[in-house]
Each structure stands twice: as structure tokens, then as C-alpha cells.
Amino acid sequence: MSQVPTILCALLDHLDSVYHGKAWHGPTLRGSLRGITVQEAGKALTQSGHSIADIALHCAYWKYSVRRRLLNSKRGTFAWKGSNWFTLPTPLTDELWQKILNTLDEEHEALRLAVESFPESHLSRIPKGSRYSYIQLIQGIAAHDVFHAGQVRLMKRKN
């Protein structure tokens, strides 16, 4: 990572610290998901009827969405059919829960690679079809992880 410009290093550090690193604010997204059983993951607990599994896949989707914008890739290439919020089968199986967690990890790593190779000089630009600059999108996806990490922590208490 020594070849990566300083601002990109800072963004990568931020992405990692809120996802699975050691964060000053408390539990990370991946840390919040640690130890959740398939029964807990599949139980709808939010006012909108979402489960922890729904939230994990939703987070993976938005990591994909930001990465797609950074790379100027076409839509429709996410590993799961659909977008944003997905309809998951009930009851949730261990295999499907693990697949969701794997997708989340894979999308985080793919996002990191996209940020690492992104031209620093383009960070302030606004991609076509967006209201936000590339740097805002990267910072926003980190904030998205923090928001949902807190949500998952509250949901774990309800279980």
C-alpha cells in the first residue's frame, strides 16, 4: 500500500476500521455480525420487517454499488438477483447465511481494490448519474457500515 496516495490510504483505513478493524466508535459491521446464529439472522426485527441477514446483504449490495460507480461498471452485475433490499427465504438456512456473509466480505474486498486503484485526482469529481463526488461516496459507504453496525447491535439485544 506504500504506492497508494496518502488520501486513498486514509480512505482505505477508514473503510477497514468501520468494517472489521479496530474502530474508536465501538463495534464494526463485521464485528456486530460475529456469532449471530442463523435463527437470529433470519428473524425480522426492524419496524420495516428487515432481519439481520437482510441488513448484511443490503450492506454488500451498497458496497457493490459504490464500487460500480468508482469503476464506471454497468449495472446488473451484483452476485444476487435484485437490488437494495432482497427477499430472502424463511426460514434462513446455515448455507444461505454463510453465503450472505461471504458476499459481504467479497464485496468489501472488491471495494477496497477499487479505492486503492482509484485516481486521487478524480476524488472530487461527481460521477454521471450521481449528486455526490467519489470521495463522498467512499466516505458515505463507511458511514453506511457504521449505521448498520449499530442497528445490528440493537437487534441482537432484541433476540
102-137 tens-digit pLDDT: 999 999 999 999 999 999 999 999 998 899 999 999
Instruction: Kindly state the greatest CA–CA separation across the chain.
Output: 47
Q: Rounded CA gap, 94 and 39, in Å?
A: 9
Task: Provide the 3-class DSSP secondary structure of residue 140.
Answer: helix
Q: Show the domains of the chain with their CATH numbers.
A: 6-21+45-158 (1.20.120)
Q: For 84-108, how does the pLDDT look when each residue is reduced to its tens digit (9 = 90+)?
A: 999 999 899 999 999 999 999 999 9
According to DSSP, residue 155 is labeled: H
pTM of the model: 0.93
Instruction: Please give the C-alpha separations between residue 41 and each of 25, 107, 150, in angstroms, as whole numbers.
Output: 23, 19, 15
